[in-house]
């Protein structure tokens, strides 16, 4: 098995644990059963993201969380329609989903996803990785992704992507969680994992 495959296997294990924890936390949040497909992970070329996941000019909602101390940004991207579906899932039926409540529901979802992933990493590595509070944005996908890339001084062509799919009462939550690190951060992580 080559080094890249070993790294993906190790990350897949961490993501599986984090995803299971996220599903449990979401169930508690909405007081309903939440099922999760096995998350998929991959490293993808920057330009290929626009070709295979989301076009550059597509309007999206995004939630950003910074990895404090380690220098990186988690970016959860979903369509405006899916953002409203998440709010409908989280909010009581009697509450109408205003823009503010949609943002709040999506921030809470991403907070759970990111912190579940980081908690799995923390337990496995014996480290203390902490993320910032989530921030919501709505813009063209290309504009959001390129802004994060520039902010992180990241000129590597690869992006780490975790795709999650959760289901509750027949509703599907689908979104991609991107991690855009400062240069060298992923290499340090792999060194800690012995990879």
pLDDT for position 133: 93
CATH number assigned to the domain comprising residue 172? 3.40.1550.10
Radius of gyration of the chain (CA): 16
Please give the residue range of the domain that contains residue 28: 3-192
Question: What's the structural domain count of the chain?
Answer: 1
Q: Is 31 left (phi over 0), alpha (psi -120 to 50) or beta?
A: left
Tell me the pLDDT band of 70, cut-offs 50, 70 and 90.
low
Least Cα distance to 27 among 97, 99, 112 occurs for: 112
More confident residue, 105 or 38: 105
Evaluate if residue 60 carries a pLDDT over 80: yes
Angle at 157 between CA 124 and CA 130, to 5 degrees: 30
Query: Is the pLDDT higher at 119 or at 170?
Result: 119
Are 75 and 67 contacting, i.e. CB atoms less than 8 angstroms apart? Answer: no
Residue pLDDT, tens place only, 88-146: 877 777 778 788 888 898 898 889 888 888 888 888 777 788 899 999 999 998 899 88
Average pLDDT, stretch 157-182?
76
Tally of CB atoms within 10 A around 4: 10
pLDDT confidence of residue 154: 65
3-state secondary structure labels for all residues of 62-112: EEEEEEECCCEEEEEEECHHHHHHHHHHHCCCCCCCCHHHHHHHHHHHHHH
């Amino acid at each position: 098995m080559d080094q890249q495959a070993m790294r993906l296997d190790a990350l897949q294990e961490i993501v599986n644990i984090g995803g299971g924890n996220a599903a449990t936390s979401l169930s508690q949040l909405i007081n309903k059963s939440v099922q999760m497909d096995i998350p998929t992970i991959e490293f993808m070329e920057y330009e290929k993201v626009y070709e295979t996941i989301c076009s550059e000019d597509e309007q999206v909602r995004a939630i950003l969380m910074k990895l404090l101390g380690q220098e990186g940004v988690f970016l959860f991207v979903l369509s405006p329609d899916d953002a409203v579906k998440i709010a409908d899932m989280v909010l009581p039926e009697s509450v109408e989903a205003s823009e503010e409540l949609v943002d709040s529901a999506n921030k809470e979802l991403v907070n759970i996803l990111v912190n579940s992933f980081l908690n799995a990493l923390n337990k496995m590595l014996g480290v203390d990785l902490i993320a910032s509070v989530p921030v919501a944005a709505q813009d063209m996908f290309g504009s959001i992704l390129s802004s994060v890339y520039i902010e992180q001084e990241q000129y590597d062509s690869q992006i780490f992507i975790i795709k999650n799919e959760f289901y509750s009462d027949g509703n599907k939550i689908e979104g991609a969680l991107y991690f855009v690190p400062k240069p060298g951060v992923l290499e340090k992580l792999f060194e800690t994992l012995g990879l």
